[in-house]
Amino acid sequence: MSATTAAFDSATAPEYPRHVVTAVLVSHDGARWLPDALTGLIGQERPVQNVIAADTGSADESATLLTESLGPDRVLHLARRTSFGTAVEEAVRTARVLTPDDLPYLKRPSGWDPATRTWQDDAYDMPELPHGEPVQWLWLLHDDCAPDPDALAELLRVVDSDKHAAIVGPKLRGWYDRKQLLEVGVSIANSGRRWTGLDRREQDQGQHDQVRTVLSVSSAGMLIRRDVWEELGGFDRRLPLMRDDVDLCWRAHTAGHRVLVAPDAVLRHAEAAARERRTVDCAGRSVVNPHRVDKAGAVYTMLVNSRGAVLPYVLLRLVVGTLLRTLAYLVGKAPGQAVDEVMGLFGTLLRPGRIIGARKRRGKGVVEASELRALFPPPGATVRATVEQVAGSLGGGSETEAGGSRHGAVESGPGGDDADFLEVEQFARLKRLAHKPGPVLFAVLLLVSLVACRALLGGGALAGGALLPAPPDVSDLWSRYTDGWHPIGTGGTQTAPPYLAILAALSALFLGSTGFALTLLLVCSVPLAGVTAYFASRPLIESKLLRAWASVAYAFLPAATGALATGRLGTAVLAVLLPLIARAAVAAYGFRAEGGDSSARGSWRATWAYTFLLTVVMAFTPIVWPMALVLGLAVLALRRDDIVAYGLRLLAVAGTPLLVLAPWSISLLTTPSDLFKEAGLEFGTGQATALDLLGMSPGGPKTAGGLLLIGVVLAALAALLRGERQFAVRAAWVAALVALVFSVLANNSGWAGPATLVYGLALIAAAVLGADGAKERVASQSFGWRQPVAAVIAVAAVAAPLLAAGGWMISGASGPLERRDPVQVPAFVAEESITRDQPRTLILGGTSEAEVSYSLVRGSGGRLGDAELTESGGGDPGLDKVVGRLVAGSGADQTDQLSGFAIRYVLVRDGAPAQMSRVLDATPGLSRLSQLDGSALWRVDRQISRATIIEGESDAEPLPVGSSTVEAHTDIPAGKAGRVLRIADRAAEGWQATLDGRVLERTTVDGWAQGFELPADGGRLDLTYEDPFTHTAWVWAQGALAVVLLVLALPGRRKEIDDDLPEEGAEVPAQPVSGEGRRARRLRAAAQAEAETGTEAAAATAEATSEGVASVDGLPQVPEEDPYAVAAAVPQQQSYGEWDGQQAQSAYQGADYASYGTNEQQQYEGAYQNAQQYEGAPQYEGAPQYDADGYQIYPQYPADQYQQQAQVQYDQYGYVVQQPYVEGQQHYTGAQQPYTDGNENEQRPDGSSNQ
The three-state secondary structure class of 621 is: coil
Task: Count Cβ atoms below 10 Å from residue 224 Cβ, excluding itself.
Answer: 27
- Of 10-14, 699-703, 903-907, where does mean pLDDT reach its minimum? 10-14
Are 65 and 53 a contacting pair, CB within 8 Å? no
Chain-centroid distance of CA 1005 in Å reads 59
Residue 539 has pLDDT above 70, yes or no: yes
Element (H, E) at 169: strand 165-174
Are 215 and 270 a contacting pair, CB within 8 Å? no
Q: How many angstroms separate the CA atoms of 347 and 349, rounded?
A: 6
Are 950 and 960 a contacting pair, CB within 8 Å? no
Residue among 50, 43, 44, 60 nearest 24 (CA): 50
Q: Is residue 894 assigned to a domain?
A: yes
Are 26 and 66 a contacting pair, CB within 8 Å? no
Q: What residues have CB less than 8 Å from 1251, skipping those under 6 apart?
A: 1241
DSSP strands (E only) in 692-794: none
pLDDT at 1053: 62
Residue 1111 has pLDDT above 70, yes or no: no
pLDDT at 1085: 61
Q: How many angstroms separate the CA atoms of 950 and 384, rounded?
A: 64
Are 799 and 711 a contacting pair, CB within 8 Å? yes
pLDDT at 1179: 37
Q: Tell me the backbone φ, ψ of residue 459, rounded to 5 degrees.
A: -80, 175
Are 492 and 869 a contacting pair, CB within 8 Å? yes
Residue 835 has pLDDT above 80, yes or no: yes
Side-chain-side CA neighbours of 720 within 13 Å: the count stands at: 10
pLDDT at 1152: 37
Amino acid at 655: G
Q: Are residues 771 and 852 in the same domain?
A: no
- Of 430-439, 650-659, 969-978, where does mean pLDDT reach its minimum? 430-439
Q: Tell me the backbone φ, ψ of residue 85, rounded to 5 degrees.
A: -65, -40
User: Residue 431: which pLDDT band, with cuts at 50, 70 and 90?
Assistant: low
User: Residue 772: which pLDDT band, with cuts at 50, 70 and 90?
Assistant: confident
pLDDT at 1092: 53
Q: Are residues 927 and 951 in the same domain?
A: no
Question: Which of 1028, 1060, 1078 is the C-terminal boundary of a domain?
Answer: 1028
Q: Is residue 111 assigned to a domain?
A: no
The pTM assigned to this predicted structure is: 0.67
Q: How many angstroms separate the CA atoms of 594 and 576, rounded?
A: 24
pLDDT at 324: 87
Q: What share of the chain is helix, strand, coil (3-state, %, to 5)?
A: 45, 15, 45
Q: What residues have CB less than 8 Å from 214, skipping those under 6 apart?
A: 169, 185, 186, 187, 249, 259, 260, 261, 375
Residue among 548, 621, 544, 547 nearest 581 (CA): 621
Instruction: Name all contacts of 916-919 with Cβ < 8 Å and 24+ positions apart.
Output: 916/844, 916/846, 916/849, 916/852, 916/887, 919/886, 919/887, 919/888, 919/889
User: Residue 141: which pLDDT band, with cuts at 50, 70 and 90?
Assistant: very high
Are 729 and 720 a contacting pair, CB within 8 Å? yes
pLDDT at 1086: 57
Residue 1109 has pLDDT above 60, yes or no: no
Annotate 58-92 with DSSP letters as a single string. -SSSHHHHHHHHH-GGGEEEE-TT--HHHHHHHHH
Q: Tell me what the pLDDT averaged over the chain comes to.
A: 76
Q: Is residue 1042 assigned to a domain?
A: no
CATH of the domain at 176: 3.90.550.10
pLDDT at 208: 87
Q: How many angstroms separate the CA atoms of 729 and 711, rounded?
A: 17
- Please state the rounded mean pLDDT for residues 91-100: 86
Q: How many angstroms separate the CA atoms of 1203 and 1193, rounded?
A: 13
Q: Tell me the backbone φ, ψ of residue 1237, rounded to 5 degrees.
A: -85, 0
Q: Is residue 1214 assigned to a domain?
A: no
User: Residue 421: which pLDDT band, with cuts at 50, 70 and 90?
Assistant: very low
**What's the sign of the alpha-carbon dihedral 819, 514, 808, 687?**
negative
Residue 1094 has pLDDT above 90, yes or no: no
CB-based burial of residue 352 (10 Å sphere; 0-12 exposed, 13-18 middle, 19+ buried)?
exposed
Question: Which of 888, 903, 936 is the C-terminal boundary of a domain?
Answer: 936
Are 914 and 929 a contacting pair, CB within 8 Å? no
HEC states along 872-907?
HCCCCHHHHHHHHHHHHCCCCCCHHHHHHCCEEEEE
pLDDT at 371: 86
User: Residue 815: which pLDDT band, with cuts at 50, 70 and 90?
Assistant: confident
Higher pLDDT, 1151 or 79: 79
Quick one: what percent of the chain has pLDDT higher than 70? Answer: 73
- Please state the rounded mean pLDDT for residues 1027-1048: 90
Name the most confidently modeled range: 566-580, 741-755, 1195-1209.
566-580
The three-state secondary structure class of 288 is: strand
Higher pLDDT, 1090 or 1159: 1090
Residue among 148, 119, 137 nearest 44 (CA): 148
Q: Are residues 883 and 1007 in the same domain?
A: no
Are 580 and 588 a contacting pair, CB within 8 Å? no
pLDDT at 134: 82
Residue 771 has pLDDT above 70, yes or no: yes
Residue 879 has pLDDT above 50, yes or no: yes
Are 872 and 909 a contacting pair, CB within 8 Å? no
- Please state the rounded mean pLDDT for residues 963-975: 91
pLDDT at 794: 77
For 22-33, how does the pLDDT look when each residue is reduced to its tens digit (9 = 90+)? 999 999 999 999
Residue among 244, 219, 234 nearest 144 (CA): 219
pLDDT at 592: 65
Q: Are residues 524 and 461 in the same domain?
A: yes
* Alpha helix stretches (DSSP H) within 960-1028: none
HEC states along 1054-1116?
CCCCCCCCCCCCCCCCCCCCCCCCHHHHHHHHHHHHHHHCHHHHHHHHHHHHHCCCCEECCEE
Higher pLDDT, 124 or 845: 845
Q: Are residues 270 and 360 in the same domain?
A: yes
Helix axes 624-638, 753-771, angle to 10 degrees: 40
User: Residue 780: which pLDDT band, with cuts at 50, 70 and 90?
Assistant: low
Task: Count Cβ atoms below 10 Å from residue 308 Cβ, excluding itself.
Answer: 9
pLDDT at 915: 86
pLDDT at 122: 54
Per the document, the length of the chain is 1251
For 104-135, how does the pLDDT look when each residue is reduced to its tens digit (9 = 90+)? 665 555 555 554 556 555 555 555 555 567 88
- Of 222-236, 536-550, 747-761, 1099-1113, where does mean pLDDT reach its minimum? 1099-1113
Q: Is residue 346 assigned to a domain?
A: yes
Residue 777 has pLDDT above 70, yes or no: no
Residue 970 has pLDDT above 50, yes or no: yes
Chain-centroid distance of CA 500 in Å reads 28
Q: Is residue 424 assigned to a domain?
A: no
- Of 192-201, 722-731, 1143-1152, where does mean pLDDT reach its minimum? 1143-1152
Query: How many structural domains comprise the chain?
Result: 4
- Of 381-390, 1074-1083, 1226-1235, where does mean pLDDT reach its minimum? 1226-1235
Residue among 650, 641, 630 nearest 597 (CA): 641
The three-state secondary structure class of 234 is: coil
- Examine residue 14 and say whether the peptide bond preceding it is cis (omega within 30 degrees of 0): no
Q: Which residues pair with 986 in a beta bridge?
A: 1009
Are 755 and 739 a contacting pair, CB within 8 Å? yes
Q: Are residues 952 and 929 in the same domain?
A: no
Q: Which residues pair with 15 in a beta bridge?
A: 106
Residue 661 has pLDDT above 90, yes or no: yes
Q: Are residues 972 and 891 in the same domain?
A: no
DSSP 696: T
CB-based burial of residue 675 (10 Å sphere; 0-12 exposed, 13-18 middle, 19+ buried)?
buried
The three-state secondary structure class of 345 is: helix
Higher pLDDT, 1199 or 995: 995
The three-state secondary structure class of 440 is: helix
Q: Are residues 139 and 235 in the same domain?
A: yes
Residue among 98, 243, 247, 226 nearest 166 (CA): 226
Are 480 and 861 a contacting pair, CB within 8 Å? no
Q: Could you tell me the residue range of the domain that residue 838 belongs to?
A: 823-936
Q: Are residues 917 and 954 in the same domain?
A: no
Q: Are residues 964 and 926 in the same domain?
A: no
Question: Which of 936, 963, 986 is the C-terminal boundary of a domain?
Answer: 936
Residue 1110 has pLDDT above 60, yes or no: no
Residue 414 has pLDDT above 50, yes or no: no
Rounded to a whole number, what is the largest CA-CA distance in the chain? 145
Q: Are residues 571 and 674 in the same domain?
A: yes
Q: How many angstroms separate the CA atoms of 425 and 273, rounded?
A: 42
β 50-56/19-27 pair status: parallel
pLDDT at 1237: 39
Residue 1198 has pLDDT above 60, yes or no: no
pLDDT at 1069: 44
Are 81 and 1193 a contacting pair, CB within 8 Å? no
Residue 390 has pLDDT above 90, yes or no: no
pLDDT at 1130: 37
Q: Which residues pair with 20 in a beta bridge?
A: 136
Q: How many angstroms separate the CA atoms of 147 and 133, rounded?
A: 27
Element (H, E) at 695: none
Residue 420 has pLDDT above 90, yes or no: no
Q: Is residue 1024 assigned to a domain?
A: yes
Q: Are residues 317 and 455 in the same domain?
A: no
Q: How many angstroms separate the CA atoms of 535 and 688, rounded?
A: 31
Q: Is residue 488 assigned to a domain?
A: no
**What's the sign of the alpha-carbon dihedral 670, 676, 682, 684?**
negative
For 175-194, how does the pLDDT look when each residue is reduced to its tens digit (9 = 90+)? 888 888 999 999 998 888 88
